[in-house]
């Protein structure tokens, strides 16, 4: 950072990534600001700058100030952090100390010491405050230290699983011997050993991922388990919609026959393709695909070889990939929001609650970066062939698929606490 950069920061004032402090701030207060910035997207703490943007300068010697800052980061933060420290000459005999905190801090959540306790902090605009339990859990998930889909669900039990789907999965997808349906003890052991259940002080509880994938009524315990789907008549949200649907149920479909045979009958297609006609009950993903098919059009033409070719408004494979990604990777700690599936006259949008997982960026997604927020769900969806083993679904199916289909670039947008995939029906200039 140079003096021009510093002047620019001071000119714009405090925000979610910049904090002004005198250098006589207490260690506890400085640690609170450090933790909050680390838990958001990093930023700068300017020591020797007043709230009114005037520069008072450091009162400590430079070496003493650096030693003090590093001691605060080591002793008053958990886990300890190592910020970047520098001093800049402001003129008039004044020096500003700059504490720079990284945007991709890997060990979230960061906590500050408060007496004998350690408290997680978050940044909200220009203020730092204590995190709620939900916000703290979200930070654990962003860091990859806690995966929501392996979290036990209090109050639920073995009877909250759809045993038909479990038998389908273990017998037909995994091709392994599974216990008789009536043997509850054996099923409990199997589900605990495969992370679909979790033993909490000797009591087996379904995991969140287990209920989402195979639950009878997952929304009873996880109200965010589903998709809100709306088909609008125009290009804006409108009360006059063609159809509104709340898509609920288990994520995966129920099939009456071994999926291995279905895969042989439909080579090259995911075995859960509802066109195969084998599903007894559609899961949430296939319900969403059925909704899409009802509200987009298909045109038929004859190619040069005399064959009939059907063309949907959007490539079905790209739509499916976007829906699967939303289900597999959304932030399930946000319990007040469904995944949103919206079909407009000019575009199709899928909005997934939550920011991208830690270290993931839109550019990395476009390049095929592999990361997962809900590893258990991702692995099961891979077993059903919804998810590619290579992890290249976004660049291969969504981006390349839309380019081949109509020459458009899909929008991949991280916005506030949600991620949007937007597919365009025709080439466009602005949304």
Indicate the domain borders of the chain. 3-131, 150-219, 227-424
How much is the mean pLDDT over the chain? 87
* Distance of alpha carbon 199 from alpha carbon 192, whole angstroms: 7
Q: Above 80 in pLDDT, residue 311?
A: yes
For residues 272 and 146, the model is more confident at: 146
End-to-end Cα spacing for the chain: 36
Determine the pLDDT at residue 327. Answer: 95
Helices (H), 81-161: 133-143
H/E stretch holding 352: strand 347-353
Q: Above 80 in pLDDT, residue 268?
A: no
Closest CA to 390 of 374, 413, 367: 367
The tens digit of pLDDT for each residue in 35-88 reads 999 988 899 999 999 999 999 999 988 889 999 999 999 999 998 888 999 999
The tens digit of pLDDT for each residue in 132-155 reads 887 887 787 666 666 788 888 888
Closest CA to 383 of 214, 249, 221: 214
* Distance of alpha carbon 33 from alpha carbon 112, whole angstroms: 9
Q: What ranges make up the beta strands (E) of 194-315?
A: 197-200, 203-206, 227-232, 241-247, 298-302, 308-312
Query: Which top CATH class is 3-131?
Result: alpha beta
Structure tokens at 145: 């230290």
Which sign does the torsion angle of CA 142, 143, 146, 147 carry? positive
Q: What ranges make up the beta strands (E) of 240-288?
A: 241-247
% of residues, the chain, pLDDT over 70: 91
Helices 316-329 and 284-295: crossing angle in degrees, nearest 10, is 140
Structure tokens at 384: 């059903």
The answer to whether residues 212 and 251 touch, using CB atoms and an 8 Å cutoff, is yes
The tens digit of pLDDT for each residue in 203-218 reads 899 999 999 999 998 9
Average pLDDT over residues 236-250: 93
Record the pTM. 0.68
Average pLDDT over residues 189-195: 95
CATH architecture of 227-424: 2-Layer Sandwich (3.30)
Q: Above 70 in pLDDT, residue 232?
A: yes
Q: How far is CA 290 from CA 248, 293, 320, in A?
A: 13, 5, 10
Average pLDDT over residues 351-377: 84
Same fold, 3-131 and 227-424: no
The mean-pLDDT minimum among 176-190, 269-283, 345-359, 388-402 falls in 269-283
Q: Above 90 in pLDDT, residue 356?
A: no
Supply the DSSP symbol for 318.
H
Three-state SS for 324-339 is HHHHHHCCCCCCCCCE
Q: Above 50 in pLDDT, residue 263?
A: no
The single residue listed with the structure tokens 């709620």 is 132
Confidence class of residue 163 from pLDDT cuts 50, 70 and 90? very high
Query: Which of 289-294's residues contact partners 24+ apart within 8 Å by CB, and which partners?
Result: 289/316, 289/319, 289/320, 289/323, 291/229, 291/231, 291/243, 291/245, 291/247, 291/341, 292/316, 292/319, 292/341, 292/343, 292/348, 294/231, 294/243
Q: What are phi and psi of 364, to 5 degrees?
A: -65, -40
Confidence class of residue 275 from pLDDT cuts 50, 70 and 90? very low
The answer to whether residues 111 and 121 touch, using CB atoms and an 8 Å cutoff, is yes
């Amino acid at each position: 950072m140079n003096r021009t950069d510093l002047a620019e920061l001071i000119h714009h004032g405090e925000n979610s990534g910049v904090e002004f402090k005198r250098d006589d701030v207490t260690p506890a207060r400085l640690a609170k600001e450090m933790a909050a910035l680390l838990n958001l997207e990093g930023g700068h703490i300017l020591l020797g700058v007043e709230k009114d943007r005037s520069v008072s300068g450091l009162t400590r010697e430079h070496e003493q100030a650096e030693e003090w800052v590093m001691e605060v980061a080591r002793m008053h933060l958990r886990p300890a952090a190592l910020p970047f420290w520098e001093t800049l000459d402001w003129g008039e005999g004044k020096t500003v100390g700059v504490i720079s905190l990284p945007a991709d801090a890997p060990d979230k959540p960061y906590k500050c010491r408060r007496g004998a306790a350690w408290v997680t902090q978050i940044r909200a605009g220009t203020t730092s405050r204590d995190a709620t339990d939900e916000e703290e859990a979200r930070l654990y998930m962003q860091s990859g230290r806690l995966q929501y889909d392996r979290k036990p669900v209090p109050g639920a039990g073995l009877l909250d699983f759809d045993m038909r789907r479990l038998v389908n999965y273990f017998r037909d997808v995994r091709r392994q011997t599974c216990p008789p349906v009536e043997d509850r003890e054996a099923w409990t052991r199997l589900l605990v050993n495969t992370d679909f259940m979790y033993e909490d002080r000797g009591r087996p509880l379904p995991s969140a991922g287990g209920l989402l994938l195979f639950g009878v009524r997952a929304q009873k315990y996880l109200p965010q388990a589903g998709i809100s789907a709306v088909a609008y008549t125009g290009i804006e949200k409108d009360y006059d919609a063609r159809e509104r649907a709340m898509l609920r149920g288990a994520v995966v479909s129920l099939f009456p026959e071994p999926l291995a045979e279905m895969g042989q009958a439909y080579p090259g297609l995911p075995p859960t393709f509802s066109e195969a006609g084998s599903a007894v009950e559609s899961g949430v993903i296939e319900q969403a695909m059925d909704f899409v098919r009802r509200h987009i059009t298909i045109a038929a033409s004859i190619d040069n070889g005399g064959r009939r070719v059907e063309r949907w408004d959007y490539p079905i494979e790209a739509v499916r990939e976007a829906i699967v990604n939303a289900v597999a990777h959304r932030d399930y700690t946000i319990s007040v929001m469904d995944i949103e599936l919206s079909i407009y006259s000019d575009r199709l949008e899928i909005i997934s609650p939550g920011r991208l997982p830690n270290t993931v960026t839109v550019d990395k997604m476009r390049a095929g970066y592999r990361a997962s927020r809900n590893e258990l769900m991702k692995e099961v969806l891979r077993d059903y062939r919804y998810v590619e083993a290579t992890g290249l679904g976004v660049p291969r199916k969504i981006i390349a698929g839309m380019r081949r289909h109509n020459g458009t670039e899909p929008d991949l947008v991280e916005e506030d606490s949600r991620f949007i995939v937007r597919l365009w029906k025709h080439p466009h200039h602005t949304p």
